[in-house]
Structures are given as structure tokens and as C-alpha cells.
Structure 1
Amino acid sequence: MTSSGLSPAVAATRRHRPRIIVLIGMTLLALAYLGVLRADDLGMGDAMVVGALAIAMAGGEFLRVGGPTHRSIAPVATGAAVALALASVSDNHELAYGAPLVVVTVALIILLTAVWLEKPDNLSFRIAGHTIRVIVMGFLAVAFRELPLMEGGSLAHAAAQGEIEPWALALTMLGLTCLAQLLELSLHVWMRTALGRQQWREILAEDARDMLPIAAAAMSTGVVVAIGLRSLGLMAIVLFLAPLVLMRISIARRTGAIQARRQSITALSRLTDLAGYTEPGHAERVAVLCGLVGREVHLPARSIIHLETAALLHDVGQIGLRHSVPYGATINLAPLDQEQIADDSADLVEEAVYLTQSAAIIRSYPTSFRVLHEEAKRLSVEARILKVCNAYDDLTRGDPLRREPALERIMLGLGYEYDPAVVDVLRTVTVNLTPPTEVPAGAEDEAAPSRP
């Protein structure tokens, strides 16, 4: 029996339910695919183009890369899907397949690779993102292959008959891909806004900065493949999708470098633990709390990364102390001593150019909240979050049973030392971290403020 009271077989079945559902859906799509093939009565040329692009899409799904802050993208698969939606001629042969074939092919490939690539726990959520891709490619296919936008019929038919000048056809395809990118961006922003973690403006800015350039490169390459099929045939697929494979390798290397950098920062944060200056795990616990609070107050993803980095490194300045602070709890030090440690930490962190924003948070976090009102100074919300989360872990030392005494101590400085809004959020996010057990004897005394 598992901890939930279920047998291992039943627990495994429940864990794989999303994957089972996707397999069922994939089977239904395969049947629909056969029906579409029969309805379209494809010739050999159409079948070869569809098959080659389907293989490119499937392979591209295995070359998916993640963005710096959130969702991932498959540039090769996206380029192949756009080419499938916009191709009209291959080796002087008109491609007569319709939009339903494009939609079913894209959906089938996405579901097939999702079963193998996605973890069962993430599958149900990821399906929403995959569905957006199907919708976007469906929009492209319907607009180009079905809508009677020309006197003779659809754009695809007019292009195959030579009724559109090559430059006009290229501009039309690019215009459709721009509309498709706008649709995809809007749907992703709408979906992520529904999670309630960020404002739509922040999500839009992140997507436009991190993912839009990659998506634009993939879609424009799809246009080039669709045009190249006219003269080069299937060779255009290999020739023009190859740069996207190289781009994916470059992005993967950059992502690996970012991950290695974060691992180095985490290792450096443990230096004070190993030297006995701070409690084991203090920096990592503060970083986790800062991340939870930052998401609750809708900080942008990049700001949360800078905040978590500052939380990991905010105590490295203690290495220069002659005598260690008891338990590494800077909350019990005089304000000037707290500022000195923060300045020393920030000076070390600033040695790395890419950590200047985190260093600024570290340098300002000991500042009292009252300066916002009494002295009209600026104090970033990241610094206010770090101050509250650091004080909380200094008082609890990682023991959730000390939560209430620690919050009572923090409440004594509410509005003077600590931002009331941040404290309220901290109280909320730490509820799930606290087991329903009574506080052990002596915990209140350790977390309570010293009295003269």
C-alpha cells in the first residue's frame, strides 16, 4: 500500500491516466486521419510531401528547447508545420490536400510525441499548450487552403495556377504567419493569465522578448520551405530546415550554460553553511520562500530569478566576519552591522556582471520599510520580500513548527521594518509548509524578541 492508502497498481494507473487519455485521443485522431486521406484522395506527390513534413515535425518535437523563463518551443517542428499549411506546389505538381489533413496531421504528431516526451504529471497541463499550436496551424491552413480569398478560389489554388506573383505570394504568406504568431501569443497570454500568477502585460512582455524571435524564425523558415518545394521538391525540407537544427543546438548550449551558472550560484551559497556561519540550508530556504512570495505578488519571471539569486547569495559577506553570528541570524544584529554584511555580500556578487541586479537587491534589503514613507526613498519590492523571508527563516531556522512565534516577532515590526503586504503573503504561502502539529516547548522563547 502507498501512503495514500492505494495499492501500487492502482496508484500507477492513476498516475498514468493523462497518458492513457492521450493514447485514446491519438487512436481517434488516427482513425480520423485515415478518413481524411480517403476523402482527399491524395496522389503520390501529395502523400510524399505530407509524409516527409510529418517526419520532420516528429523529429522536431524531440528537438524541443525551453525558454529562459517559461514555455518551450520546437522550432524545427513549427517550421515543418507551417510549410505543410502553406505548401501549394511541389516539383510543378499542385498539392491538393485540404486544411483538415493539416490539422489532423499536426494534432496526431503532437499527441504522439507528447506521450513519449511529457511526464504523466505534466501531460494534462501541457495539452493546453499543444492545443494552441494545433489551433494556430489550423488557422494558417484554413486561411491559405480553404477560404475563397481569390476570384478563382483559395490562395493555395491561385498560387498553384500561377495567378499570384512570386513576391506577392511570399508577402501574403509572411502576413499570414504574422497573424498566426499574434494569435498564438494572445492565446498563450490568455492561458497563463488564467493561472492568476502574473498580469497579462508581464506575460506578454516575457513572451515577446524570449519566445517571439524563435517562433518568428521558425515560421519564416516554414514559408521558405513552402516556396522552395516548388523548384527543389522534397530537398527543400532538408535544405531549409537544417539552419533551425543548428539554431536549436545553439539555444541548447546557451540553456545549458545558464543552468550551469545557476548550479554554481547554488554551490556558492552553501559556502557559509560549510564554514559554520549560517544554518544549513538557510539560503536555499530563503530562496524558495522568495520565489513563492514573488509569484503570489505577480513579479515577472525574470525578476523572480534575480530575487532568488539574491536570496541564495545574501549572506556570503559573513565569510569576512571574525566571529560568526549565532545561527547566522542577521535579524538579531544592529542595523549598521546588517548593512555592512549586505554591502560585503553585494560587493562580492557584483564581481559577476550578470548578477548586478541581484547585487542591488542584496545591498538594499536591510533597509527598513519606513523609508518609503518617512524619507520618500525608493525600495524595490524584491528587497522588501527578501527582508521578510530572511527574517522568517532566521527565526524558524527551517522548522515549520516555529512559524507562529516567528510571525508574531515579525508583526512587531510591521509597517516599520517590514512591508505589511509582503508579510500577509508570507503568512499565506507558509500555511502549506506547516504541518498541523503543536509548537514544541521552548520554540516561543527562541523566536520571541529579547527584552531588556
Structure 2
Amino acid sequence: MRAPRRAGAWRMLDEPVRVLVIAVAAVFAAGSLLWTLVSGFVEGQTALAFGVLIALGELARITLPGNREVAPVASAGAIGYTFLLTIGGDTVHHSGWQVLAVVTVGFALGELPHIAAGRSPEWSDVARRMLVIVVITLAFRPFADVLSPGSADWHWWPALLLMATLVLVGWLTDAITAAAVRAERLRTRITVAFRDELRAHAGLGMAIGSSGILIALASTITGLAGLLVFTAPLLVTQVAFRRFAEVRLTYLQTVRALSRVTEVGGYVAPGHSRRVSRLAKSIGCELGMRESDLLELEYAALMHDIGQLSLRDPVASGATVFALPREQRRIAELGSAVIRETGVLDSVAELVRRQCEPYAGDGDDGPPPLGSRVIKVANAVDDLAGEAADTERVQAVLERLRMDGFGEYDPEVVEAAARAIERAVARW
């Protein structure tokens, strides 16, 4: 079944948490600019240097797996400016509102070339980056004078401890905010989304935070030259993450290309694999599957019919739901064997191999994996309802799966499919 989408204003109405995050960040950005324009900038050269670093970092933002936009250099520069106590031995006196104003201008200048080129950012990700700096800045800058080396009772360890604590708090704040936005967008459980965000941001988040602290501490001795010296390691980390994201994207593009072979050869209906994949992911989200499991599910759903390429006589209309159980098992086994030849998708191959089994299992291996049960339901819905199915026909198909008397379809998965389809229809 085709999953309808809303865009623009409709998406804004569908995602109030995302709108709230963007609105709060915009209020802080506008307020900081207004306050700083009224009160005036201090240490303009330092503000300019950090503003340029933030803008260049935002310009070089990257998209990680899961469509997560990050700007490591910009975020580290913003954190460094927040934690800056002295520059070349001279105490700095910029307020937290000036920090937010410089970060706002830097983000805006960094995004302008992307917008001009038609690559609009994911505004909720930009807003999250802003909110992290808001949390850290408003908690740190009021104590900057006390923590500065120029104060009478200065010790280095309270400043470092506070910096490290606030980096951790900022990271957790970002993970919670990202999880709320992601759970709302994918219609999954907030706890599952939170765990996914923690895993996704752990390595890079710590690299960004530690780099920001190093920039602030190094600038105490080296001055503005510390910006270049301690940004370099983060650039290397960013390149590594970019390559990782490119490899993941290449994997997905390759799998999608393979899934179209069955359509081009006339073995399945046009768009069948993509529709099954979309519905399977929606069901997986309803069931609270982890992001890594959803990725494997997407791969398996796209290639679930690839075993039909080995058939001498194609299944009528490519609808395996009408094939005999023995034929279904043969198609699944052949498809699994093809996928295993890649050498890196064994777990995906296992999902494909067991997709035709009853949900309680039919051998010594026990029940099939959840991903296999999801693919079985998603494939049956699309085989029976087709691409342009109306609501009544889809409901009839779901009722048929509910009334299955041979234990073929997992009732929990069928109900999750009903909820996913209902949400998709409501968003239309």
C-alpha cells in the first residue's frame, strides 16, 4: 500500500514537538540578537574569530545515518566560545547573550550557501544545535567571572569539572530533544528513540564536547591560534563520520537497485518492494524496533522477493501470498542464498529465509525473528490490496489476516500494521 505524505504546513501541524523545538530556538536566537544589539558587543575580534569558525563549521555540516544533520566544527566552536575565560592571558567579559548572538549569526551565515543551492537544512536539527548551546551558555556564563584565572580564589579544577558536567548535560538534552522529535516523526516509542539517539550521538558528541573544552582552555595560552590547532582533530573525526555515512548510503542504494531487478524482470508488480519496505518500517516503528533493527528490516523487505529470479516460471502477478507453502519456502531460501553471497548481510539473509514461516515457527528453530514476521504481514497486505487500494479494501485485507486460522500471521504484527495504515491515512 502506498504511504501518503504531507509536506509543508501539513507537516508542521502533524509534528507539534518539532514545531515547539524550532520555535523555542528561534525565540532565544532573536532575543539574543536584540539584546546584544542594544547592549553592544565586547571583544569584537574574538567574537568575529569564533563567529567565522562557527559559520565555516555549519557550512561543512554532514548528514549521518538516520538523516541526522550534524555540524561538529560549528558546535565545538560554539562550546569553546561559551567556555572561554581568557584569551592569550587577557580576561574576556562577553555575556551569555552575546554567545548566543554570535552562534546565531554563525549558523545563519553557514546555512545561507546551502539554502541558495537548494539544500535547505533540517530546521529541527539546527534548532537542537542552538538549544544545546542555550543550555550550556545560560548555566556557565553567569559563573565566568568567578571561574576566571584572574579571580582571587581561582583553581583550575572547578572550571574543568563544570565544563565537563555541562557538556554531558548538553549531550543528554540534545538526545532527549532528538528522541522526542524522532519518536513523533516515526511514530515509535520515545524510550526506543532515546536509546537510538544515545548510541548515535555517543562518539561524535563526546568528540565535540571535548574539542570545545580544549579550544577554550588552549586559547588561554595560545590566543586565537588555538582555534586552528584544536579544531584539526575534530576535522579528521568529521571526515571519518562522513565516509561512514557514505558507505551506509551506498549500501542502501545498492540494495534498492537490487530490489528493482525483480520489477524490471516482470517477476513482481512495479513498486511492490518499495511499498512493502515502507509498510514494514512503519510496522517496525509501531512495535518499537531499534534503529539498527529497522535498517536490517528495510534491507530485507526490499529484497524479500529476490529469490523469484531463480524461478523458471514466475509466480502469477508476483504475489507470493498465493503460492503454495513449499514454493514460498523455496523462494525464501533462494533469496537468502543470494543475499549471503554479499558476505556482510547475513542477518538480513536470515530475515528473508524465515519470512514464509508461521509466526509460531514450524521447526526446531523456534518462532521466526520479528523482522520476518513483519515482512510476512507487509507482503501479504500489498499482495492482497495492491498499490491503489482504497480504505475499505485494505480493512478487508487486515480482517482476513486477523481471521487466519492456520497461525500464519502474528496477531500483534497485524494490529501494528492496522495502526500504521490508519496513521498514514490520517496524514493524507
Amino acid at match of 1:410: L
Partners of 1:53 and 1:434 in 2: CA distance: 48
Aligned partners of 1:63 and 1:74 also within 8 Å? yes
Partners of 2:373 and 2:234 in 1: CA distance: 43
Q: CA deviation at 1:113?
A: 4.7
Indicate which of 198, 210, 219 corresponds to 1:220.
210
Partner of 1:5: none
Matched, 1:49 2:42: no
Indicate which of 353, 357, 361 corresponds to 1:363.
353
Matched, 1:83 2:110: no
Matched, 1:143 2:139: yes
Indicate which of 98, 101, 106 corresponds to 2:103.
106
Indicate which of 407, 427, 431 corresponds to 2:418.
427
Q: CA deviation at 1:423?
A: 2.1
Partner of 2:408: 417
Partner of 1:345: 335
Aligned positions of 1:11-410 closer than 5 A: 29-37=32-40, 42=42, 46-111=43-108, 113=110, 117=114, 126-127=123-124, 129-147=125-143, 154-155=146-147, 157=148, 159-161=149-151, 163-166=153-156, 169-193=159-183, 197-371=187-361, 377-401=366-390, 402-404=393-395, 406-410=397-401
Q: CA deviation at 1:21?
A: 12
Which segment is superposed worse, 419-428 or 22-31? 22-31
Amino acid at match of 1:388: V
Partners of 1:113 and 1:320 in 2: CA distance: 51
Q: CA deviation at 1:93?
A: 1.0
Partners of 1:143 and 1:98 in 2: CA distance: 12
> In the TM superposition, what whole-angstrom CA distance separates every residue of 1:101-135 from its partner, at most 9, and x where no partner exists?
1123223433555566479x9989834x4444334
Change (3 A) 1:228 1:162: farther
Between the two proteins, the alignment pairs up a number of residues equal to 405
Please report the TM-score for the alignment, with normalisation by the length of structure 1. Answer: 0.78
Unpaired stretches in structure 1, ≥5 consecutive residues = 1-17, 436-452
Q: CA deviation at 1:352?
A: 2.4
Secondary structure, counterpart of 1:146 in structure 2: helix
Partners of 2:189 and 2:396 in 1: CA distance: 34
Partner of 1:11: none
Secondary structure, counterpart of 1:66 in structure 2: strand
Partners of 2:222 and 2:376 in 1: CA distance: 62
Aligned partners of 2:377 and 2:413 also within 8 Å? yes
Secondary structure, counterpart of 2:40 in structure 1: helix
Aligned partners of 1:90 and 1:230 also within 8 Å? yes
Partners of 1:21 and 1:378 in 2: CA distance: 47
Amino acid at match of 1:396: A
Secondary structure, counterpart of 1:400 in structure 2: coil
Partners of 2:249 and 2:153 in 1: CA distance: 51
Partners of 1:432 and 1:163 in 2: CA distance: 60
Change (3 A) 1:195 1:266: closer
Change (3 A) 1:36 1:134: farther
Partners of 2:278 and 2:48 in 1: CA distance: 47
Higher relative contact order (Cα pairs below 8 Å, separated by 6+ residues): 2
Q: CA deviation at 1:220?
A: 0.5
Which segment is superposed worse, 422-431 or 239-248? 422-431
Which segment is superposed worse, 314-323 or 169-178? 169-178
> In the TM superposition, what whole-angstrom CA distance separates every residue of 1:320-356 from its partner, at most 9, and x where no partner exists?
1121111122112221221121111111112224322
Amino acid at match of 1:32: W
Partners of 1:22 and 1:214 in 2: CA distance: 22
Secondary structure, counterpart of 1:72 in structure 2: strand
Q: CA deviation at 1:195?
A: 5.5
Q: CA deviation at 1:217?
A: 0.3
- Asked which structure has the greater CA Rg, the reply is 1
Partners of 1:188 and 1:20 in 2: CA distance: 15
